A and B are shown apart, each in its own frame.
Chain A
Amino acid sequence: MSNGTVTPVFPTFEQVFQGFAGQIGMLRQMAPEPTMPDERRVHRAIDTLIEETNADEAVWLESCIHCGQCTNACHYFVATGEAKYAPMRKMDLYRRVYQREVGPLRWLYKLFTKQITLQDLEEVQELVYDSCSECGRCTMVCPMGIDTASLVHHMRSALVAAELVPPELAALRMEQKHQGTVFGSSPEALHRMVDTIRDHYGVPIPLDKPEAEVMVLSSAVDLVANGNGLLATAKVMNHLGVDWTICSDAFESANFGLLSGDMTLWRTQVDPIVARARAIKAKTLVIAECGHAYPALRWNPMLRSGALPFEMMYMSEYLGRQAREGRLKLRPLEGKVTYHDPCKTGRRGGAFEEPRALFKAMNADFVELPANKEYNWCCGGGAGIFLLERATRLRDESFKLKLHQVDQTGAEAVVVSCASCRLNFEAGRQKNHWNKRVDSLVELVADHLIDEPTDQTEEAAA
């Protein structure tokens, strides 16, 4: 069957976005209610911060001089001009706990300061979830080099302990914790999607091979909505001719432990993936276009990855390396394009050159964004913020910075390599009636493959 003549069965990404928007609306009703007494919630938050404060965190908390430089690096502050969104404020409450409980002058601070309250924690929720995508851009300008994103992540852990995760993230965290799925992306959903792709498009997906060189992860977005994502992945992997598989007991890239700040859930999601990759003797683990999955796996500080028998790579990283080694045969890409580095794979992941190698391989008229690579502006939807209804204004306003950046390039399309970024770009595209195309890197690559005739088709032709 020639793919070019197949009637598409999967929704367009515009429809995917609309479907997701509806599902996200329902998450709020599914969110768990707090179960512990207020005092216990506060103590758990304090204990979490004490436990997670090492010398690095202490130095960063000690170093801020309120010089204000970070403010103009933060998309949420620049978009709104509101004082509360200044990056330095996002660590104020953490510093109060640190000064009273951990710092070398704690005896002094205990005399003059009060313990934090549940109300303080409730108020900080917006600062560490809704208005910080942990993108790290403020670190690039801070004269002290403070890594505010890391401190915000500890605050998220404290709010998990205080049962103060925003409802949408809380609902998905509970789903992943108790059912092991995200938006219902079960092994059955994977099987159904694999069957559809094989039966309708004639593209086989090797599922649950006992041994394979490359283990590929998928993501909830692809499995429950954007079938084109998994289809593109399969086409590219088949084109490469590598020995690959997807494992139905370890396929999910999304990690709501990391996004919510629940370190225990983070680990319980990662362990089965690592175990499965070991079991099938994989040499490479390819992480789907799901930005935060890269730090969840590749940069997981709890995972001694140097001792693992396989290498972990983000999809753009893997494909870029294949392109560099001449294994991807790609048609030229028409029209001028630009690329948005997802924060988690770019500034906080270091996978800069590989996606650009793909544009080179497609002989693309590629133009960089005015602020790119380490200095790239977040799209405004990272670190779970895309899911938060309450953060809609912050997302919409900060996206205008991105929109302006892309417009400045004169590109016809902006390419992204993260489902969350893509959903946020799509929201911004629709709301602003933006005349740009938003493409996924893996789907773009799949669309530009030059498929050499296989033995089967050669036989058929004969």
Chain B
Amino acid sequence: MTLLEFARGPAIHASLILFAAGVCWRLLGVLVLTRGADLSRPRDAFGNFKGYRTVFSRAWPSDEFRTTTRYQTVLAYLFHLATLGVVLLIVPHIEFISGLTGLSWPGVPNFVGVALGTIALASLIALILRRISKPAVYNSTVGDYVTWIIVTLPLVTGLMAFAHVGFRYETMLALHILSAALLFAYFPFGKLMHAFWFLFSRAQSGITYAHKGVRI
């Protein structure tokens, strides 16, 4: 079995199983806990439902915090959207997903894929530079840096494989798939889980404050 066969076969499949099982385990492990009841009378009878707005409204910071959050917010959006584009719109990725699920959709031309990958990588670098330069603001842990490396590796190896830089193409492709496998396998164990938590966390806080008639 070649390295590429290993990457395309057992490695990526095992990582996806770990990803799915791990995400379910971590989500359920938290969500099955009891909810602390707030017995106090809400300000408005149906006011608590307004709290769900926070799930959407918190997608962009309030004007009150515009200057302090601008850099982080803009770069985070660039990173997330570009990464989503790379994952879902590049032809080889669609073929891979198609192989797993049978679903298929049209991809973007190569130059768009490269542009998206470059934007994602550049924004990641811009984010880590700020994290390093402002230690008091970020309170970084080892996990933050490990996560950054694990997210960056598939982008770097993907761009290198496409540009035929580094090892020969098959090796680079194998390394790219292995780095993606590492990302999937690591996902349930670190802060990447915020991809799921944000929904619950925003909703909870929105409801907690809406209970008192406060819109956050």
Residues in chain A within 8 A of chain B (CB atoms) = 52-60, 62-69, 71-73, 77, 81-83, 86, 88-89, 102-105, 108, 136, 139-147, 150, 298-306, 347-350, 371, 374-375
With known contacts A60-B204, A140-B64, A350-B213, A69–B72 Cβ distance under 8 A? yes
With known contacts A66-B144, A348-B212, A145–B54 Cβ distance under 8 A? yes
* A residues in contact with B36, CB < 8 Å: 52, 54-57, 301
Question: Is B137 within 8 A of A71, CB to CB?
Answer: yes
In the complex, per-residue mask of B181-213: 1 if CB is within 8 Å of any chain A CB, else 0: 000000001010110011011111110110111
* Nearest B residue (CB) for A144: B201
Question: Is B35 within 8 A of A56, CB to CB?
Answer: yes
Q: How far is the CB of B73 from chain A (nearest CB, A)?
A: 8
* A residues in contact with B144, CB < 8 Å: 66
**Can you name 30 A-B residue pairings with CB atoms under 8 Å?**
A54-B34, A54-B36, A56-B36, A62-B197, A62-B201, A66-B141, A66-B191, A68-B72, A71-B137, A72-B68, A83-B139, A140-B216, A141-B61, A141-B68, A142-B58, A143-B61, A143-B76, A143-B198, A145-B58, A145-B202, A150-B208, A299-B212, A301-B38, A301-B40, A305-B41, A348-B212, A350-B43, A350-B213, A374-B216, A375-B62
* Nearest A residue (CB) for B136: A83
Q: Is B100 an interface residue (CB 8 A)?
A: no
Q: How far is the CB of B50 from chain A (nearest CB, A)?
A: 12
Decide if the interface of chain B is mainly helix, strand, loop or mixed.
Answer: helix
Q: Is B109 an interface residue (CB 8 A)?
A: no
Question: Is B136 within 8 A of A139, CB to CB?
Answer: no
* A residues in contact with B43, CB < 8 Å: 350
* A residues in contact with B197, CB < 8 Å: 59, 62-63, 144
With known contacts A68-B137, A375-B62, A63–B214 Cβ distance under 8 A? no
* Nearest A residue (CB) for B45: A306
With known contacts A145-B206, A348-B214, A371-B64, A68–B139 Cβ distance under 8 A? yes
Q: How many residues of B contact A (CB 8 A)?
A: 59
Q: How far is the CB of B27 from chain A (nearest CB, A)?
A: 8
Partner of B202 from the list A65, A69, A86, A144 (CB cut-off 8 Å) is A144
| Separation of A246 and B6 alpha carbons in the complex (Å) | 79
* Nearest B residue (CB) for A370: B64
Q: Which of B13-72 contact A (CB under 8 A)?
A: 25-26, 28-41, 43, 54, 58, 61-62, 64-65, 68-69, 72
| Separation of A54 and B35 alpha carbons in the complex (Å) | 5
Question: Is A69 within 8 A of B216, CB to CB?
Answer: no
* Nearest A residue (CB) for B147: A65
| Separation of A65 and B80 alpha carbons in the complex (Å) | 14
| Separation of A54 and B200 alpha carbons in the complex (Å) | 13
**Which of B34, B137, B193 has most chain A Cβ within 10 Å?**
B137
| Separation of A108 and B22 alpha carbons in the complex (Å) | 13
Q: Which of B125-164 contact A (CB under 8 A)?
A: 131, 134-141, 144
Q: Is B8 an interface residue (CB 8 A)?
A: no
Question: Is B65 within 8 A of A141, CB to CB?
Answer: yes
Partner of A82 from the list B41, B62, B136 (CB cut-off 8 Å) is B136
